[in-house]
Structure 1
């Protein structure tokens, strides 16, 4: 029998999606499932993006340039300039989602056996991208007791070896919602310059920061031009997850030239989705103001309700739309399956993402879950009530 690759065997399951068959089975049993596991907003996609597709009269859906349509990249550059980030359209490569942007970045700066330092918990797919690229993740653990703040910079220094090529952060963070301060970005900038490393920032949630705090991009930090690589995406910003459009942004011309070779190998990003994404850049600021206000309401409702449950510990997010909750259970993976297979409250149950999959350190986060507050307020209240009732009867 032909043999599967070791890389394929080592590829982790998604903690976000692996429980889908259990949720489908629960639905077939007649249960109503509240989906708290995945960052799929229920916010409407901007009408200007939908109209751009609806009103197209093109007769051939052709390839675009490998780096993305020039008109689109020029509008992206204008968007960044409005956010005090000075880049040119030549500093941008449009990708098939933020996922492809990360894969291109890994492939452009690291070889097999190289190392990347990432504060954990982190976006679960960083593990998968690292395995696919033959790269080793070196984690720095941030803790729920510290609200998942950046670990002391000395902890990063201890881990740097000749194999270290980059530090990767998600800002604001998935799954924690943590927002890095300007001072923390400056600390990271100093260490990557000192050790001649890349600093990769996944900034796809930049638009969603709360409590009067401003987002500070690594592209705004002076002197970081050769080190900074930003991963971005339209998925969450415009509630266009299915468009699968992202982009790489960097002032490092050698990096962009290298990334373009990966882009050429896969031909081009989706043409119709680029048309919609280019139009989405005309979305008025009022759209984002309303969305932020909605997420702040949802966050406050969720955190307040979780804090009232006996034995539950939760970190308060300052950005994105996720939080990590620590539960009075031994194994959140088992608990999440049990919720779908064996429990309901008034014929309702919930689907959550076990947080161990957001760590690379074995045995960490076993009693934690990630919750995405992408449901309306009434649904969030009901979902947390289900969790509360479930924890009263669940036995490890």
Structure 2
């Protein structure tokens, strides 16, 4: 199993804390936004006398409310098209296990969410990367690049939209191109859409579940983690109109018994969160993105992939190895007992040697902290020796 590029540096940050340093965390997508009160109250005020198993696919009441939420987002699915999972992570594991066998292949534009490497390893399948470039702001690579990678072992294409770690938001035209490709070659199209609410600059999110003719091919992964700032709830879902996929994934769901009962209660209540909550959160992230980009542009020699969604961006630095740089920041660098923690981007690629001079930044800190963190990064680059 590969290490997490996001979490593997935690021991060094803990040492920094013990040495009396303040660490600005740009490394992990843990929002500082408050969880909706309605979700917290649902757990605090419930009248359960026994915390029982739920159904393996999640409670019908919750799945029906999820389907209603999707309807408001122009996604027409029924409750029995949905399996509630322990986070989006489990939804991906169920998907991999349901549609692929050992040594099958899945094509993923890279850089991609680092745990896709872990899920593929755990499932015994092989990631076939197609590289998107920072010079193109990580847009979808040409369809011809996908097509030349398709073999008899290829079973699916996976995208994250909006993207982690790039923040790229796929256009409707790009989604339609992928839809035609998977239909042509009889593949599944999997879309990790957990950042759906977070889009900027007036650009709209386009779900694969809204594309006509893709009913047998589309599998959507979703989660409450980022939408409602409920990362620790560990509730997600797998959504597909393909009945065979759902029937197969349900076997995996039955094998792990059920998703967490209390977290489902919180997640069901969270669906009643008013639109004003998302308007405020989206405005906050937009301001943070603009602040981050403005500050990064003050640093000589950096390239920035400007995000159109989610709350991440990839930054290319004038260094050789961001793993060593990230560790050095925590072990050897500080200004007035303050330093910064970043996520080395090589772990978001599966092609060896790619992304070594890149980092992922999660702009989940307030604007003042972002300015301070980037200032520290700027000063660190002045003294760092490869």
Q: Same fold (TM over 0.5)?
A: yes
Of 101, 104, 111, which aligns to 1:111?
Answer: 101
Any idea what the Cα deviations from partners look like across 1:28-47, whole Å, max 9, x if unmatched? 00000001100000000000
Of 163, 176, 182, which aligns to 1:192?
Answer: 182
- RMSD of the alignment, in Å? 0.3
Of 272, 284, 303, which aligns to 2:262?
Answer: 272
Of 112, 126, 139, which aligns to 2:129?
Answer: 139
**Aligned residue pair count:** 386
Of 351, 360, 368, which aligns to 1:378?
Answer: 368
Give 1:1-396 correspondences, 5 Å limit. 11-396=1-386
Q: Which runs of 5+ in 2 are unaligned?
A: none
What is the distance in 2 between the residues matched to 1:345 and 1:69? Answer: 51
- Report the alpha carbon displacement of residue 308 of structure 1 after superposing the two structures with TM: 1.2
- After the TM superposition, which segments of 4 or more aligned residues of structure 1 sit over 3 Å from their partners? none
Any idea what the Cα deviations from partners look like across 1:32-80, whole Å, max 9, x if unmatched? 0001100000000000000000101211000000000110000000000
What is the distance in 2 between the residues matched to 1:287 and 1:40? Answer: 18
What is the distance in 1 between the residues matched to 2:201 and 2:39? Answer: 29
What is the distance in 2 between the residues matched to 1:17 and 1:263? Answer: 27
TM-score (norm. length: structure 1)? 0.97
What is the distance in 2 between the residues matched to 1:308 and 1:250? Answer: 45
Paired position in structure 2 for 1:4: none
What is the distance in 2 between the residues matched to 1:88 and 1:258? Answer: 17
What is the distance in 1 between the residues matched to 2:245 and 2:251? Answer: 10
3-state SS of paired residue (2:148) = helix
3-state SS of paired residue (1:148) = coil
3-state SS of paired residue (1:14) = coil
